[in-house]
Amino acid sequence: MLTNLQAWAPQLLAGLVTTVGMTFGAMAIALVFALLLALGRISANAYIRVPVTVFVELIRGSPLLLQLFYIYYVLPQIGLKMRPFDAGLFGLGVNYGCYLSEVFRSGIAAVGTGPREAAESLGLSHWQAMRFVILPQAWRIVIPPVGNYFVALFKDTALVSTISIADLMFQGQLIASDTFRYMQIYTIIFVIYVVISIPASAGVRWLEHHFNAHRRS
């Protein structure tokens, strides 16, 4: 077993590096996208609010795997071709951005009208109040749920193996198909995901407790 693990380690490590890079890259895209979508959903302009809301509901109402297939296999037929890694980043980023947009929207709403009114009474415009007053306070509220989505995203990156991205799952599939050691390979991959996910989840719970205690004080 140890001999096999030593032989497989470089390939699995390369896949893990790809998985971690995919996780951080997709989350960066998701956070920016989520903020833009949240601002669109709370816009007073119906021409902005309605299309954004429809788009978010369409993405949230369809499977992530289908979205990845659509981006990688369908969009090239209309001239929008992406490399596998870019397609995975884009698909995960858009999907999680739509889910996180609701988190951001709720965080902004939780700040309340008081800080906004105080900022506007000091002469700040709507967008200045949003940038300097509302969003910094909302960010404290959304950090714990964002952390939970980050852990979920790490696990969902396994789906990108279906569009030929050499992540941890894809590398495991290659090794298993060559060696027929399915139980050993998939057990190792299971352990890797668990060893990373459980401490990350514990960290998120600590953050949530910390921020909740700070808000109560």
| Full set of structural domains in the chain with CATH | 16-166 (1.10.3720.10)
- 45 — alpha (psi -120 to 50), left (phi > 0) or beta? beta
**Within 13 A of 163's CA, how many CA atoms are on the CB side?**
26
Whole-angstrom distance between the N-terminal and C-terminal Cα of the chain? 53
Rg (C-alpha) for the chain, rounded Å, is: 21
Summarize the confidence of residues 144-150 as an average pLDDT. 90
Amino acid of residue 110:
A
- 58 — alpha (psi -120 to 50), left (phi > 0) or beta? alpha
CA distance 86 to 84: 6
Residue 74 pLDDT: 95
Contacts of 7 (CB under 8 A, 6+ apart): none
Reported as a single tens digit per residue, the pLDDT across 152-204 is 999 999 999 999 999 999 999 999 999 889 999 999 999 999 999 999 988 88
- What would the DSSP string read from start to end of 95-119? HHHHHHHHHHHHHHHHH-SHHHHHH
Residue 143 pLDDT: 85
15 pLDDT more than 80: yes
Indicate the helix (H) or strand (E) that contains 128.
helix 126-129
Indicate the pLDDT class of residue 213, thresholds 50, 70 and 90. Answer: low
pTM over 0.85: yes
Q: Which residues of 24-33 are buried (b: 16+ CB within 10 A; e: fewer)?
A: ebbbebbbeb
